[in-house]
Structure 1
Amino acid sequence: MDGLAEDRSVADMPAVDVLVVDDHAVVRAGCRRLLEPPLGRFRVVEAADGPSALALVERDPPALVILDLNLPGSPTGLDLVRQLVALGPPVLVFSMHEAPSVVARCLEAGVRGYLCKSDDPAVMAGAAETVLEGRLWLDHRMACAVAALGPGRPQRDVDAPLPEREGEIMRLLAETAELDSVARRLGISYKTLANTLVRLRNRYGVRRTADLVRIAVRQLDETLPG
């Protein structure tokens, strides 16, 4: 009975347009299932890149934007966050980046909430509702981690140039993704490579080397001529 009552309450609430911006169709489809009835009360509009998202918001502003940080095209990352915030709708970031410094920079840029892609999917609709109510959404663990950075503490800039060796490792990861091959081509030990990968994962706020490879491929694509 409680479940039926909850479904009716969602159905009775006015529908709200939300723009989901992610370059992976399967992620957008998953968001749609989590946000549209019966789990949520939203009408989902989709965009796969930054320029498309900006065009949609300028033409028909949604009540909320749910945004991945790693998108093809330009602008990307925090530049896109700032442009969307300037257009008016609240922005809820939905990202694989879990570094508190990345979250802090997004909050400074004006986002109203931050969801990690490793979070429980069941929280998405509630996070969206919280942001729509004008409140900040951040889970307790991440809120504590961001607070621990302290006021005025310098934040790591994931867009800043990498040291030469780390940049070369990212380039080779994009080309091969085989760690033995990367170590051999650089003439370094596997242990040295593994230690550098730990620093790179921390920098980009990801847990797995596979996620690091994805970032490396995207960075390489962005340097290629159009």
Structure 2
Amino acid sequence: MAAEVIRVLVVDDHPVVRQGLRTFLDLQDDITVVGEAADGASCVAAAESLLPDVVLLDLRMPGTDGVYALNALREAGNKARVLVITSFTEPVGIVPAVRAGAAGYVYKDVDPLALAAAVRSVHAGHVLLHPDVARLLAEGDTRPGGATLTAREREVLAQVAQGNSNRQIARELTLSEKTVKSHMTAILGKLGLHDRTQAALYAVRTGLVSPAGR
């Protein structure tokens, strides 16, 4: 059976950057670029019409930037995983994007093969954060820490933080996928979180798992 092809939307305000990313990614057997956008607003429109699996998103763009796009995608309920590609070198520059829902980030000088690996990783449900970014997020997180999770919910949360999908969690914990989904709904509700990325960050903040850096 042929491997699933990952549909990628490339978002950057520089045409030469978009073309370079498209050219490389289209060489991968399991990745195809389905479209391009030059700012946050056009990213949101393109994601709605093209339904990419992964959005490769620049942060610094004129007009509507990457953080705008992340917030708008989340508000629209778009299921695409977002991988930020950035020129920021200080972890603090990445924090707003991760808070807005980015699943991870790579630098613009990333090795091409590492970029393809990162696209595959976020598509598979992993969260790509350097420990310094996880620390900054934890320091700035003022959510109450008193929510009580059951032992099973903590096990599920730990699996989420390791980047496992519901199917993988079900297999690992000998549960049905439906049960895993129910646990996830309960976890997010109890902790006041929006998505799996925030749940993974919570697990790091509370010491349930250690942050995994690249």
- AA at the equivalent of 1:81: L
Q: Deviations over 1:64-119 (max 9, x none)?
A: 1110011122x324222211233221111011112111222221111001011122
Q: Which runs of no fewer than 5 residues in structure 2 stay unpaired?
A: 142-214
CA distance in 2, matches of 1:27, 1:16: 20
| Alignment partner, residue 109 of structure 1 | 100
Q: Which runs of no fewer than 5 residues in structure 1 stay unpaired?
A: 1-8, 155-226
Partner secondary structure for residue 79 of structure 1:
helix
2:78 is the counterpart of 1:82: no
TM-score (norm 2): 0.58
| Alignment partner, residue 27 of structure 2 | 37
CA distance in 1, matches of 2:7, 2:45: 15
- Superposition deviation, residue 19 in structure 1: 0.4
Pair member with larger Rg: 1
CA distance in 1, matches of 2:28, 2:47: 26
CA distance in 1, matches of 2:74, 2:114: 23
Q: Name the % identity.
A: 36
| Alignment partner, residue 91 of structure 2 | 100
CA distance in 2, matches of 1:94, 1:29: 14
Q: Deviations over 1:178-219 (max 9, x none)?
A: xxxxxxxxxxxxxxxxxxxxxxxxxxxxxxxxxxxxxxxxxx
| Alignment partner, residue 115 of structure 2 | 124
Alpha-carbon RMSD across the aligned residues, in angstroms, is 2.3
CA distance in 2, matches of 1:40, 1:28: 19
Partner secondary structure for residue 53 of structure 1:
helix
CA distance in 1, matches of 2:47, 2:138: 33
Closer, same or farther in 2 for the Cα pair 1:90/1:147, shift >3 Å? closer
2:54 to 43, 57, 64: 64
Closer, same or farther in 2 for the Cα pair 1:125/1:85, shift >3 Å? farther
Higher helix share: 1
Equivalences, count: 139
